[in-house]
Amino acid sequence: MDFGLSFYLAGAEIGLAAAALLLLLVTAWGGQRAARLVTIISVAALVGATAFTAAVMNNGAGLAQTEAFFGLYRLDTFAGFAKLLIYVSTIACLIVTPRYFERRGIYRGEYAVLMLFNAVGMGMMVSAVDLMTLYIGLELSSLSSYVLASFARNDMRSAEAGLKYFVLGALASGILLYGMSLVYGFTGNTSYAGIRAALTGELGTGALFGVVFVLAGLAFKVSAVPFHMWTPDVYEGAPTPVTTFFASAPKIAAVAVLARMTLYAFGEQLFGWQQIVVFAALASIVVGALGAIGQESLKRVLAYSSINNVGFLLIGLATGTPAGASAMLTYLVIYAAMTIGSFVALLMLTDDDGVPLSTFADIAGLAGTKPALAWCILLLMFSLAGIPPLFGFWAKFVVFQAAVQADLVALAAIGIAASVIGAFYYIKFVKVMFFDAPAGAEATRHVARSPAAHWAVLVIATLFISPLGFLLTPWLGAWSNQAAVSLFTLA
């Protein structure tokens, strides 16, 4: 094995890990005074990792099935696709962080360091082609996520969110580890290629249980029904910048891991796992749509929206075809822009005292006081609902098209019907902002002026999901197709 090539392929993770360790020392010596500097350097490190990954992909090293560290790690086009999306999402989340924590007096450099370690873990997860690498990356990402959820130590809701996430996350990790042990026991391999070779022919009962437990553990990470119960509580209790991060980068990584596990490691047993994914997709779409209807908290509504969107992502995965995987990746890119834009908009909804406007009653009549912000939210909500000509419509269209091509017509039909149900609570945002008048104490509250960094992220996300986004469809489709093909290419 060429160690030089291995270290080169893992250069993004090595660079981010080195930056995180150095910044940890800076934070220890500088304290809160160094928090903004640490955040800026962290963003620079992530930009460097993004540029490095893009350069490796452009040079063609990722187009070949290049494995590193004795087959534990692979940098292919699929991994590069996921990493670029993860790093860009993490950068966006870090950019909108400072103002929120500064106003609350809890801005510390450890926040950015935890984000870097999380990015390292997510990068390992999407490049893992062995169960050992997967679990190490997953735990590195999860442990930093637990701390991030409870970062606002003086806020009881944040502490509660962190504790819930830790307890349920530990349970999911145990389920996943038990499934991995069963898969290893019945296949004799921890490498994805070895598992795939061993799971040819009829699937035994023991191996089937292993597959089910692995999928259950990963379903928790993507917050798919019936393992979604933590999502609304954690999203509501965690600080809003952390919620923005949870809804984007870790979810992208988890979906990528689930795709590589099912389509590559379990690829010979399509009918063994397809029914599970179909059920999770339908249940997530329905529960996400119905669960949000009665919510008044804006963050809980978007939490159920996240669950709903996972269902649409799983429709593409359920096809088990390169076209379905490509559609899923296209949806993932558009979903990241819509989600980050939506949560950044919530982050900007604070009054002059810094108190967040967290319910529908708080944003009544927003179009009259902050028309630009209200119109951005309108476009984001309509895009999440899949209303043309916004880019969110294209995301759902390609997923349903792939399902129909794979003869999953019933799944596509139910998904389309559930999209109509989900549109209700997205349109509720518009109705409240544009047609309701503020009542009582809310009539005297004013939305505070937002920093330029927030506006920059929100405007970029809004332009991306606007009809202008359709100009990117040829490039995005070609890139998604390449990533999907590499996922199905055996080493």
Look up residue 11 and give its amino acid. G
Inform me whether the pLDDT recorded for 185 exceeds 80.
yes
Q: Could you report the per-residue pLDDT of 250-259, keeping only the tens digit for each? A: 999 999 999 9
Cβ atoms 307, 228 nearer than 8 A? yes
The conformation of residue 32, written as its DSSP 8-state character, comes to: G
* Residue 196 identity (one-letter amino acid): R
Q: Please tell me whether the overall predicted TM-score, pTM, comes out greater than 0.95 for this model.
A: no
Residue whose tokens read 């249940």: 283
Q: How confident is the model at residue 63 (pLDDT cuts 50, 70, 90)?
A: very low
**Residue range of the domain that includes 262:** 3-488
Q: Is the pLDDT of residue 489 over 80?
A: no
Give the H or E element holding residue 66: strand 66-68
* Amino acid found at 288: G
Task: Record the tokens describing residue 481, joined without a space.
Answer: 């197709």
The predicted pLDDT at position 447 comes to 64
State how far the Cα of 405 lies from the Cα of 409, in Å rounded to an integer.
8
Residue 61 has pLDDT above 90, yes or no: no
Cα 353–chain centre separation: 31
pLDDT digits (tens, 9 = 90+) for 328-369: 999 999 999 999 999 999 888 877 666 777 788 888 888 888
| Nearest alpha carbon to residue 148 among 24, 233, 243, 218 | 243
Q: How far apart are CA 413 and CA 165, in angstroms?
A: 34
To the nearest 10 degrees (0 to 180), the angle between helices 473-488 and 77-95 is 130
At residue 424's C-alpha, the angle toward residues 165 and 244, to 5°, is 30
In a 13 Å sphere around the CA of 309, the CA atoms on its Cβ side amount to 33
Tens digits of residue pLDDT in 403-457? 999 888 988 898 888 888 888 888 888 888 888 777 655 554 556 667 888 899 9
- What total of structural domains would you count in the chain? 1
Look up tokens 């806020």; give the residue.
155
